[in-house]
Every structure is written in C-alpha cells, then in structure tokens.
Structure 1
Amino acid sequence: MFNLKLCGAMALLLLAGTQALAQTSFKSLNYLYSNAGQRTVAGQHNREPNSSPAVQTNRIYSITGQYPGLWSGDFLFASSDVSNRWTMINEAKAQWASGAIINLMWHACPPTQPEPCQWEGGVKSYLNDTQWNELITNGTQLNNNWKARLDVIATYLQDLENNGVEVYFRPLHEMNQGIFWWAGRPGANGTRRLFQLTRDYLRNTKGLTNLIWVWDLQDFSSLSSDLTNYNPGSSYWDVLALDMYYTDGQGYTTAKYNAMVNASGGKPIAIGECEVLPSAGLLAQQPRWGFFMGWAELVFNTNSNSNTSIQNTYFASNVLVRGEMPGWGGALPTAPNLAYNRPVTVSSSENTTNTGSKAVDANGTTRWASTAANNQNIMVDLGATYNINRVRLAWEAAYARDYQVQVSTNGTTWTTIKDVWGKGSAAADDHTSLNAQARYVKVYCINRATSYGFSLFEFEVYGTAAGARALATSTARNLAETPLQVYPNPVTDQLTMRLAPGWESSQVTLFDSQGRQVLREQVAGLSHQLRLSVLPVGMYQLLLNNGRQQVVQRFTKR
C-alpha cells in the first residue's frame, strides 16, 4: 500500500526542484525562482489616488525604515485616476530603477460602459449571458470595445517596455469573486476565456513582451475546485496568486498552501493581496510564497497589523525588502524621465493641438509638430541641473533627417552633445552613454526628411542629480556587489562593515528583532567595526544611511 503522505511530500520536493532550476527571459521572475522555498519578497499595493502612487509604500517606509521589495499600482476606473495614469506609470519606472518588482492590476470598466466609470454599477456590475458570449466572440461590438480598451492600456505598458521595465500584470483578478463584471464564471467559456483573449491580444496583436502574467484567485472554501475551473492553462500564466482575506474564516491554512503548490506545476506562487501580513513563522512553514502584497490602507488597520507586527515581518530574515534586492541592471536615474511634464519652449507649432507640451507628456499617441520649415527647435527646462546620460526621441513620420541634441546650464550658452546627420527612417533614436551637466536640453532640428514640419511623439531625458552619478551607478549592482557587506555572519562580538565608495561618511543604526533601536554610530571610511559584545543573541537589522540613500542588511548574533 502506498504511503500517500510520503508521495505528496516527494511531489512537493520535485516541484521545488523544478522551480529552482527554471530560467525565463525575465530577470525579476528568475529572481523569484532563485529564492523559492527560502525567502519571500515583501510587497505593498498603492490604491487611489493615482496622483500619489506611492502613498502606502511610503507609509511602510515610515514604519519600518525600508521600502517594500514589490511596488504595485492600478490603472483604475474613476476619472481623476484615469487622468493620472501616466503619473502612476512614471512611479513604476522609478520603483523599477530603484530595484523593486513591479506589479500592475486593473479594476477595469465593463465593455458595456464608457471609461471612466463608477465603482458601484461599473466595476461592480454584471454582464448577462448574451453580453458575455458577445464579449468573448471575436469581431462583435463588445469584443471590439474590450480590445479598444486594451489598446489604451497597451500604450502605458509599451512605454514601460521601452524603458526596460518588467511588469507582473494582474488583470481580471480574483477570477472566482462574483462581485466584479468579469469574474465568477467558471468553465471553458467563462472568466478564463476572457483572460486568454486578453493575454493573446496584448502579446500577439500588440506585441508586448515585458508582461509576466499573474493568474489570481480569492481564498474561498471552493479553492480546490476553483483552481481547476478557472485555470486559463499553464501557457497563459507565469505566477499563481491567492488573495488571502480569510474569506472562508480560516486564513493561511496548510490546505490552501498545498493546493496552490500543487496547482502551480513548479511555477512561483504568491499572496496576491492580504490585509493581515504573514508572519516570519508562517512563511517558514509555507516557504514557497514568492511574494506577499499588502493591500493598500488595510495593512494599517491596527486590528489586523500593529506597527510592531509590520516591523517583525519586514525585519524577518526570510523576508526580502527593496534594499536587499539585486537591482535589474543599468544606471539608476533619480527620475526615470526628467523631462516628464516639464516646461517646454518651441520655435513653432503647426496648430493649437500639436504643441510642445505633447512631446513630454509620456503619451506615445500625442506629439509636437512644427510648421513646415527647416531650422526648428524644442527645448525642455528640467528645473534643476542634472548629469544627463540619455536622451530618447520618438519621431513621428515627419522626422528630422539632420539634427543636434544640445544642452545648457543657463539657457543661453549651448553645447552640442549629439550630432545626427543623414538619419534614414522615423525609428526612435535612443542616445545613451551621454555625459553632460545641464538644466536645459534642446533638440535643434536642421533639415526635414519630408515636406511636413518636424514631429516628435516623445522627448525623454534621463540622468541623475548633479554629483550623484557614482552613487546611482553603484546601486545597480547585484547582491554580491552591494554597497554594504557585513562579516562574519553569524557574528559573536565584532561585526565588520565593508562599504563601497560614496558611503564612507554614513550613519549606521542597529535594530533588534522587535524593531527597537539598540545602537547608532557615525561611519568614517570604507571599513568600520561594530562592537556587539553587550548585545544579547538574536537577529538584528543594520540600516546604513548616507543622507541620499540607504541600504539594509540583516545578521545574527550568537
């Protein structure tokens, strides 16, 4: 007679082994695979308003002194949030540049209504069977309405792809949750069919290759059957997530965890949303959770999480915060696009629609167009002096055959940092490895390629705050090259800190496992020793701050 319990355990081990060996084209997804069964990334969702898309992430920082390893935003549905989607997208780029995993979801308006819409009667509404069948049938009005809505979202996702940002994309979340217009329809032609349609359209028709697809359910008592009835098919998703709201009155049970592991087929699983943060002990018992994502303001409900319990989770050795993330490569600018919505001056505009501001609105469908004449220019005022390292120009069909990129610190004296002569197509120009200090950046368009004027969809400028270039570059290193290394770990009496250049005049603060400050010193030099003989054994968190940036390391005293 087979030992079913033993067979189940072996199956879990085999799945874990499969996951640990898996490699994908996504750096951030490979990172989840590499940590499978060992550490869980701490995450935080940022709900309305999109005009302030890091409000809850920053609140986590105010409590713990560190940023979540996963940042999440939402395309949303209300008028004010729809109008601030580009603000949210630029925050996503900033978070990615700082080393965070990016998660995006979408409380979408139904295809039977225009966008924006309301929560009640909009996002929370119902499509009858006739409407649903029309929606999932190619070429019908509702099907075309949905694809038109995807066209809008694709513009933002394409901008993220253009900037190298990988996105954990989580549309049609909580598939088994009946309150949303898209959800609660099991079976082949139910919610999972719309998920398949959405993925196929964005991947195959729109050509987006930066999306890591998250299939998400809620923790109902029907979970075991929901994992079958709502599964879009393994080729349609990369991560399986469960929203943990104690819907069945039980919370983080072993049965739910095992059901998720078994359904994942070796792919990462995650706590897609939660009000009660998982404890370090719970994550030790359920180590395959790749990340957890605290839900916006609910995390700060003191009946669910005290500040101490939030700190305990974030300080745990099996939980990863942003300061411990490897970074995703490349220089890390202070702002992803320094020209975004900055004041623009142009030599001319062909009409009152295609004005200079349209070239810096981060909207790939709007543009600046000059009058039909040579020798035109567009200039952006960054508001402060930056170390400019990249300028990206997305041209419309009426591009410049010959042009120069010029910079100035005072708006009067100009230096050319890029000459382009004989450009042969309207393809975007991404000028990297630039090296200039400037407040003002100008594109001086000399000769036209067409009989029309000069036309730019996007004028993007990237760089770092003046004097911070070396620091920004150092933070792009992987964990083996982190600005702070500590040894030995575990430690007995004396801990040695080794620092990267740019961190030699920093302050070090030590917290115990309860989040209490137990030591603070000023560092001088690239090597510093902490004497710990008076401290009790246990786990500690070391926070290093140089006034511009901080990094976190954990160690154990024995």
Structure 2
Amino acid sequence: MTDRQPCNPSASGSAGELLRLLSGLPEKKDRRVVLGQYITRNSHNSNPYDPAQAWERYYQDVYRQSGEYPGLAGFDFSGRSVDGAGADSGPSDSNWREYAEYHHEQGGLLRFMWHASNPWTLETSWSQIPQGGGLEQLITPGSEAYDRWNGWLGRLADQLETYAKKDIPIIWGPLHEMNGRWFWWGTGATDQFREVWRHMYRYFTETRGLHNLLWMFCPDAKASCERAVEQYPGGSCVDIIAPDLYYVSADSGASPALYDEFSDPKYGKILGWGEIGVNTEERIDNRKFIEEIRSRFPLVTTYMQWGDVFSAGTIKTFALPSNDYMTELMRDDWMLPRGELAKLKNK
C-alpha cells in the first residue's frame, strides 16, 4: 500500500490510517472508489427536508432501495440556504451530529464542509466581498470582518474538537469551488485566498490541536484551471484534491483539465470528486459517474453525489435515491459502499 503521510505531521493515528487507505485504492483491482452521498446542512437546505428528513431520504432510503449504505456521508455546518433563510450565520452541527457519529460507528467515512456566510455583510455564501473589503482583512486584526471570521473559526474548532476527542477522522473540505466567482471567498485575490486557507490550517492544527482532519482542496471543474492552480495553498496543508464536477447533461462528458493538472506527480496527492451531479431536471443513470471514473479518471478514489435541489418550481435530482440503477451501482465491483468499506478497514 502507498505510504503517503498526512500534511499535518502531528496527525492522529486514525487520520493517518484513513489517508493510507485512500492512497492504496488506485492500486486495487476492485473495491477502489468510496461512494458518497451528501446528507444535510445544519438547517435550511436547498430542498424541503430538515436534517432528520434528509437523513431518511439520502441515507436510509438508499439502504431501503439497494440494501447498502453510502460509504461516505457529507454534512455542512451552514445554517443558511441559498435564498438567505436562517437567522444565525455561525457554523453549527447541532442538528446532524448524531447522524455523523452513527455513520462513523458503522464503518463509514465523514466529509464535512461549510457554506460560510459573508463575514462582511452576513449574506449567504452566494455573495460578493463588498467594495473596500479584501480577503486579507480576515487574517489581519482590526476589522469587524476579522473578528467575526475568527469567532466563527473558534466555534467550528469547538465542534470539531468533539470528533477529535472521540478519535473520529474527518475529511475537511473548506472554501470549496474557490476558482469560481459565485461564493464570496472566490471573489478575492488568489494569493490572499492561499493565506486565508493557511491561516485556518494553522489555527485548527497548531493553535487548537485538531489533528483528526484530512484537508481537502475542492476547486470547481467548470471554472478556471489556471485560477485553481494559483489558489492552491500548497502540499504542506492539503491531503486530498477533489474538484467539484457537475455535468451539463446526462450525455455530456467531463472536462479533464483539473484532473490532468492535479494528477501530476509533482502534487503527490489523493484525488477524488468533492461533489458530483448532472445539472438536469430529469432522472439520470447513477452508473454514469463510476463508468467515467473507470474509463477516464482512474485515480479518483471517492466521490459524493449532491442532494436534490428545489428551486423556482423545479427539482434537480442529484441524489442517489432520486435517480436510476442505484442498486446496480452499489453492486459494481469498483464501489465501496459502507459495508464493503468497513470490511476493508477491518482487514
């Protein structure tokens, strides 16, 4: 098995074991891709489900329909929806922590993310840095944005510490799709983005001692590859590179630009798809993604299908149970649903 070490030299034993497991998957003949499903934000999803309902729909329904659970479950600390609903802008896991811990206890992997609200304006992630603002203000004392951002980081660290104390390794993918310009953190200078990432890394690992995290860098596959390279914070604070990949239609292919760039041995990182889906209102064949990985992107070790999105009377069916051939996907010999993943972890 590939002897790849975490970027954090003080990483916990469980984090190191998880990284080594993922590192070895491309060398296997079968059972080599961890199948993931995004479950929920803390509240106010882009669908009508509260966290308990989302757990039933995106986790339990997968089992009821296929006899298998997702190998990876995704959760988001945000309490804000794309339309701005939700009074509290700060990060929280209060409405889904029990589900995340249960999934871990059953042998699954956890991927946490955070659609952070705008620390200048308190708008949602889908906003801009206001005129006169800049990402450097988040790491330079003396502004309200600095105080708010670092207060949020403190709240996040308090919650992540709960998992660290239970020795639960977390795949942590903050500030995703940074090479696009739809989230506020993607609208700033690329060098400043790198410093904001590094500041978070130092605070979590060095100041707060959170050594259970594997750090995942998630640019967007349809946005600029050049910008993603410029924003890459460096191998000393990244473990996994996992672009978000959304196909235009069920018949379209994926751009290989980010895969080709970050699969270069000079990066030396595990590869995955952070989020994946097809931007259509029609049901699709769930097997599309593993077939593309098998034929075009064989170094991808994990992917996470997104939850369904309800907007303006339309529904985009991204989730496993909302599309076709889920059982066949779960039984594909390259797949690692929760049961197969638990077997691999226990070898």
TM-score range, shorter chain: 0.7 to 0.9
For 2:103, which of 95, 111, 114 is the aligned residue?
Answer: 95
For 1:40, which of 19, 33, 39 is the aligned residue?
Answer: 33
C-alpha distance in structure 1 between counterparts of 2:266 and 2:109, whole Å: 20
For 1:159, which of 158, 162, 166 is the aligned residue?
Answer: 162
SS at match of 2:118: coil
Report the Cα offset of residue 303 of structure 1.
9.1
- The one-character-per-residue Cα deviations of 1:339-378 (angstroms, maximum 9, x if unpaired) are xxxxxxxxxxxxxxxxxxxxxxxxxxxxxxxxxxxxxxxx
Q: 1:254 to 1:176 in 2, by over 3 A?
A: closer
Q: 1:84 to 1:136 in 2, by over 3 A?
A: closer
Q: State whether residues 273 and 304 of structure 2, in contact with CA within 8 Å, keep that contact through their aligned partners in structure 1.
A: yes
Report the Cα offset of residue 128 of structure 1.
3.2
Task: Please give the residue correspondences for 1:143-222 in structure 2 after superposition, counting only pairs within 5 Å.
Answer: 143-189=146-192, 191-220=193-222, 222=224
Question: Is 1:290 equivalent to 2:301 in the alignment?
Answer: yes
Question: Is 1:322 equivalent to 2:338 in the alignment?
Answer: yes
Task: Please give the residue correspondences for 1:8-407 in structure 2 after superposition, counting only pairs within 5 Å.
Answer: 20-24=2-6, 25=13, 26=15, 27-38=17-28, 39-47=32-40, 48=45, 49-52=50-53, 54-55=55-56, 56-78=58-80, 79=86, 85-113=93-121, 121-128=123-130, 130-133=132-135, 135-141=137-143, 142-189=145-192, 191-220=193-222, 222-223=224-225, 225-246=226-247, 251-262=253-264, 265-276=267-278, 277=286, 278-285=288-295, 286-297=297-308, 301=316, 307-326=323-342
- The one-character-per-residue Cα deviations of 1:406-453 (angstroms, maximum 9, x if unpaired) are xxxxxxxxxxxxxxxxxxxxxxxxxxxxxxxxxxxxxxxxxxxxxxxx
- The one-character-per-residue Cα deviations of 1:182-217 (angstroms, maximum 9, x if unpaired) are 11434212x222111111111122221111111111
Structure 2: 5+ residue stretches without partners: 7-12, 81-85, 279-285
Q: State whether residues 154 and 202 of structure 1, in contact with CA within 8 Å, keep that contact through their aligned partners in structure 2.
A: yes
C-alpha distance in structure 2 between counterparts of 1:140 and 1:247, whole Å: 44
Report the Cα offset of residue 135 of structure 1.
2.0
Report the Cα offset of residue 77 of structure 1.
2.7
C-alpha distance in structure 2 between counterparts of 1:122 and 1:173, whole Å: 14
Report the Cα offset of residue 150 of structure 1.
0.7
- The one-character-per-residue Cα deviations of 1:452-485 (angstroms, maximum 9, x if unpaired) are xxxxxxxxxxxxxxxxxxxxxxxxx9544xxxxx
Q: Which structure's relative contact order is higher, taking Cα pairs within 8 Å and 6+ residues apart?
A: 2
Structure 1: 5+ residue stretches without partners: 1-18, 115-120, 328-476, 481-558
Question: What's 2:10 paired with?
Answer: none
Report the Cα offset of residue 136 of structure 1.
3.6
Q: Percent identical across equivalent pairs?
A: 24
C-alpha distance in structure 2 between counterparts of 1:84 and 1:111, whole Å: 16
Q: 1:69 to 1:80 in 2, by over 3 A?
A: farther
Considering fraction of residues, name the structure with more strand: 1
Range with greater deviation from structure 2 (105-114 or 156-165): 105-114
Letter in 2 for 1:77: G
Root mean square deviation of aligned Cα: 3.0
Letter in 1 for 2:165: N
C-alpha distance in structure 2 between counterparts of 1:304 and 1:109, whole Å: 25
C-alpha distance in structure 2 between counterparts of 1:155 and 1:207, whole Å: 11
Q: State whether residues 139 and 196 of structure 2, in contact with CA within 8 Å, keep that contact through their aligned partners in structure 1.
A: no
Question: What's 1:535 paired with?
Answer: none
Q: 1:155 to 1:302 in 2, by over 3 A?
A: closer
Task: Please give the residue correspondences for 1:402-551 in structure 2 after superposition, counting only pairs within 5 Å.
Answer: 478-480=345-347
Report the Cα offset of residue 166 of structure 1.
0.7
Report the Cα offset of residue 250 of structure 1.
5.1
Report the Cα offset of residue 67 of structure 1.
0.3
Q: State whether residues 92 and 159 of structure 2, in contact with CA within 8 Å, keep that contact through their aligned partners in structure 1.
A: no
SS at match of 1:200: helix
Letter in 2 for 1:103: R
Q: 1:37 to 1:140 in 2, by over 3 A?
A: farther
Aligned length: 305
C-alpha distance in structure 1 between counterparts of 2:342 and 2:236, whole Å: 28
Q: 1:80 to 1:478 in 2, by over 3 A?
A: same
Q: State whether residues 93 and 163 of structure 1, in contact with CA within 8 Å, keep that contact through their aligned partners in structure 2.
A: no
Q: State whether residues 107 and 123 of structure 1, in contact with CA within 8 Å, keep that contact through their aligned partners in structure 2.
A: yes
Q: 1:295 to 1:80 in 2, by over 3 A?
A: farther
Give the TM-score, by structure 1 length: 0.50
Letter in 2 for 1:273: E
Q: State whether residues 78 and 92 of structure 2, in contact with CA within 8 Å, keep that contact through their aligned partners in structure 1.
A: no
Q: 1:136 to 1:301 in 2, by over 3 A?
A: closer
C-alpha distance in structure 1 between counterparts of 2:309 and 2:264, whole Å: 29
Q: State whether residues 70 and 338 of structure 2, in contact with CA within 8 Å, keep that contact through their aligned partners in structure 1.
A: yes
C-alpha distance in structure 2 between counterparts of 1:304 and 1:97, whole Å: 23
Q: 1:28 to 1:303 in 2, by over 3 A?
A: closer
Question: What's 2:9 paired with?
Answer: none
Letter in 2 for 1:243: D
C-alpha distance in structure 1 between counterparts of 2:220 and 2:115, whole Å: 15
Q: State whether residues 37 and 288 of structure 1, in contact with CA within 8 Å, keep that contact through their aligned partners in structure 2.
A: no
C-alpha distance in structure 2 between counterparts of 1:137 and 1:167, whole Å: 24
